[in-house]
């Protein structure tokens, strides 16, 4: 039985390019982001990977990335489950602000704490811990049972919702996962043993 899970952060969005806090706001991909998503699909195809079901967030940058990957895979027929449980971390009052402007308003040290601490939320928003508390129950109830049943699963989501999953899969601490950088449009391939432990991980960067 093939227990396959592929995680991919969406391609570059318009707000990534403008250095804005995005969160639950809904910009779409840039031309570069479209190219990254297509390249991700081609990498998966080159490895001979195929899928049975896909999961993505309620935000169009992740949905568009998934659509483009499936187009490259020739699998636009696959079932797609969209759920806001997989949305990016909610940045609250920071959403839509340029990161440099946020530093001027609240101070560089405070903004750094909000961005890189595990459990300190920005005003009106979520910490990474809050995001994990939202993402992980959904993962354990919906996605992991599919993987363990032998369904090959592709997830297109966001930097912080995927950090929550990676923390769980790789047994990382909150302090370790906040230091993990996830490039846009780079698939990470996990395979699992019958007991649910990870047997291999392949990062398709480059």
170 is catalytic: no
* Long-range contacts from 116-122, C-beta under 8 angstroms, 24+ separation: 116/178, 116/179, 117/178, 118/174, 118/175, 118/177, 118/178, 119/174, 121/92, 122/91, 122/92, 122/93, 122/94
Q: Which residue has the tokens 């129950």?
A: 137
* Annotated active-site residue in 10, 72, 126, 158: 10
10 has catalytic annotation: yes
Catalytic residue among 72, 88, 126, 158: 88
Hey, which residues are catalytic here? 10, 88
């Amino acid at each position: 039985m093939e227990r396959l899970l592929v995680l991919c952060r969406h391609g570059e969005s318009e707000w990534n390019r403008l250095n804005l806090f995005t969160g639950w706001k809904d910009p779409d991909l840039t031309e570069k982001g479209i190219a990254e998503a297509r390249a991700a699909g081609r990498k998966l195809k080159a490895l001979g990977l195929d899928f049975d079901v896909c999961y993505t967030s309620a935000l169009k940058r992740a949905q568009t990335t998934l659509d483009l990957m499936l187009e490259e895979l020739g699998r636009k027929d696959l079932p797609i489950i969209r759920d806001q449980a997989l949305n990016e971390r909610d940045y609250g009052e920071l959403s839509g602000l340029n990161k440099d402007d946020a530093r001027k308003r609240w101070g560089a040290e405070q903004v750094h704490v909000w961005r890189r601490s595990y459990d300190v939320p920005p005003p009106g928003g979520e910490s990474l811990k809050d995001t994990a508390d939202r993402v992980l129950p959904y993962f354990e109830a919906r996605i992991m049972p599919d993987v363990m049943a032998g369904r090959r699963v592709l997830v297109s989501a966001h930097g912080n919702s995927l950090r929550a999953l990676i923390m769980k899969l790789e047994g990382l601490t909150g302090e370790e996962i906040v230091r993990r950088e996830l490039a846009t449009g780079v698939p990470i391939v996990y395979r699992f043993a019958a007991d649910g432990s990870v047997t291999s991980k392949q990062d398709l960067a480059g």
